[in-house]
Structure 1
Amino acid sequence: MSAVIIVTGVTGQDGSHMVDYLLENTNHEIYGGVRRLSVPNHKNIEHVKSDRFKLISLDLTDSHSIEKNILKLKPDYFINFAAQSFVGASWDYPKQTFETNATAVLDILEAIKTHAPQCRFYNAGTSEEFGDIEYSPQDESHPLRPRSPYGASKAAARHLIKVYRESYDLYAVQGWLFNHEGVRRGEEFVTRKITKSVAKIKQAIDKNLEWEPLELGNLDAYRDWSDAEDFVDGVWKMVNQETPKDYVLSSGNAHTIREFVETAFRFVGIDGYWISSGIKERYKTTVVEQELVKINPKFYRPAEVECLLGNSEAARRDLNWEPKISFKCLVEKMVRNDQRQPE
């Protein structure tokens, strides 16, 4: 039987991949929530032509908009990827981050409880909730000790979901999604910033042109990176269990931003080397004199989470889920995609 699914954040990386996954693997009706239908920022879903996919106006900062859509559609699933998900921006806009990432979740839970109690709700969580880590790798039992307004907002949403799940018998879950990237990653994120710069620098070297070096902050922060396309399968399985439970989704392998840089440049045939240290550190190559990467202190976060490494054994066991795309393949895929983009 066909179900009704609301997916938010469909113009972003995760939401658009979720739409692709659902269209390919189910026969359900999918409603993609966007804040303003009149704003054509739909690059990540412009390829979708299915009559089972429709856009709806849904503003998560407006409780009436949330209630109206849930009352009208009576969804069987509500998958929420809409968020202020940039850690750096959460320091500049903490109030807006909480309104989007936590208050909106409360409004969704209230509307589901009142108008669609049969609805299965998934909210995207993050490894940033763990924050000041006690042990590694982090699993579902690790305490929540966020070190940014973004991580704190997602931890708050998790507590709300647990309260509503236990108090009202709702199927509501929030997975801990460790870092996941891909060709649809926003350019404000460091991974896409790296691959886009590498593609531009490679083109400049080939054409004997000058370029702007890539500016980065902490090169030695460890992250557990996966491909976003692998994660949507885990999300769908998480929201379709007999009993609602939160799971960690991760690759189980950590790499530094430094390694990400080296892997990206190596893919385009540029072998580099690091010189100096601290804020004077640079990445250069013997091919040309101009530097490839330099440090800019403005990209350091007020409270950095040094090492995030996930233990996804529970998801692999209970959900029969595992990531398929390796770190190296992920980086190369992203660089290749940016090399194809028009200037």
Structure 2
Amino acid sequence: MEMKKVIITGVTGQDGSHMADYLLSQTNHIIVAGVRRLSVSNHKNIEHLKDNPRFRLIDLDITDNSNVDRVIQEERPDFFLNFAANSFVGNSWKMPVNHMMTNCMAVLYQLDSIKNHVPSCRYYNAGSSEEFGDVVQVPQSETHPLRPRSPYGVSKCSARHLVKVYSDSYDLYAVQGWLFNHEGVRRGTDFVTRKITHNIARIKKSIDLNKPFTPLELGNIEAKRDWSDAEDFMDGVWKMMNQEHPKNYVLASGEMHTIREFLYETLNTAGIKFKTTGKGESEKLYTKDNRLIFQVNPEFYRPAEVNELCGDSSSIERDLKWKRKTDFKGLVKKMYNSDFEDLG
């Protein structure tokens, strides 16, 4: 197998670190990992890779056009995988300009530099189910219209148009798959799934030790999502990068679950028996001995919610033989057990 060079951005995050793991185990390629501010970044997710001779960190700020251009010109990668992004949808209303710079302009810098210096490089930008937004059909396939309902969704749609324009206009191999919600043990604790498993593990520890605890608070728990294991998606992304011709695909489980279901499944996995009171914004969960476990906090509601995201990944399953391995209950169990063990 020929050894090639792969640049991965966002390597300290969930997707970038899992992709580095995947490529180091499944290929003999060299991984060049771009990290902004090398000395201060949180490297927890890649600490285990630092001694690997095929893994190298470089200083790369994707919002700095000259920095991006210099790196691509010097490294001349065979593949460029862009996982770096502002990916927390809730924050995009507070920082819309920042989201557009990081999620859209950065993509333009990368594509233009690849076009100028190494047009044979294959390019991937991480897309999102949030691009579909105000959905008109369930499930959503590659043909569903783009109808974003958040600045984050807009930023990803804008990047998608750039990817297509550069691919069509300059004959670049450039793709942007639609990745539906994908979670795991490396998910940030500000994302709802990890927020749930991390806090329920904390509460379970306190219950076991008969100590007081603060309840978990969430916003709209009726919102429905299509959740998969992030590790399963890496194989799909790499298959997307190695087609004869560039084509975008949806990666998803094809199942919808509410945030309430994720919460209840985590509590069941933890072995915490609970009872419910109230409805809507006044809903609360208590232990059998009346200690408050969870309550809805209306302050966490989004200005515009996307309620029914569910992906149809039948195209990539048929064309590229991709298939997810971890089901919903398996994902919850994996995340909760990891969080519980981390608490010692």
Give the alignment's TM-score, normalised by structure 2.
Answer: 0.98
For residues 8-36 of structure 1, give each alpha carbon's deviation from its aligned partner in whole angstroms, at most 9, with x where no partner exists. 00000000000000000000111000011
Distance 2:116 2:214 in 1: 54
2:7 is matched with: 6
Q: Which amino acid aligns with 1:159?
A: H
Q: How does 1:1-343 map to 2 (within 5 A)?
A: 1-48=2-49, 49-286=51-288, 288-342=289-343
Q: CA deviation at 1:271?
A: 2.5
Contact 1:197 1:214 (C-alpha < 8 Å) held by counterparts? yes
How large is the Cα RMSD of the aligned pairs? Answer: 0.8
Residue 220 of structure 1 aligns to a residue whose secondary structure is coil
Q: What stretches of structure 2 of length at least 5 have no aligned partner?
A: none
Q: CA deviation at 1:237?
A: 0.4
Q: CA deviation at 1:273?
A: 2.9
Distance 1:66 1:266 in 2: 47
Distance 2:90 2:137 in 1: 24
Distance 2:280 2:231 in 1: 35
Q: CA deviation at 1:233?
A: 0.5
Give the alignment's TM-score, normalised by structure 1.
Answer: 0.99
For residues 41-92 of structure 1, give each alpha carbon's deviation from its aligned partner in whole angstroms, at most 9, with x where no partner exists. 1000001131000001110110011100100011100000000000011111
Residue 59 of structure 1 aligns to a residue whose secondary structure is coil
Distance 2:309 2:157 in 1: 16
Q: How many residues are paired up?
A: 342
Distance 1:88 1:192 in 2: 15
Q: Which amino acid aligns with 1:302?
A: P
Q: Which amino acid aligns with 2:320?
A: L
Residue 65 of structure 1 aligns to a residue whose secondary structure is helix
Contact 1:262 1:272 (C-alpha < 8 Å) held by counterparts? no
Residue 245 of structure 2 aligns to a residue whose secondary structure is coil
Contact 2:226 2:254 (C-alpha < 8 Å) held by counterparts? yes
Distance 1:192 1:13 in 2: 12
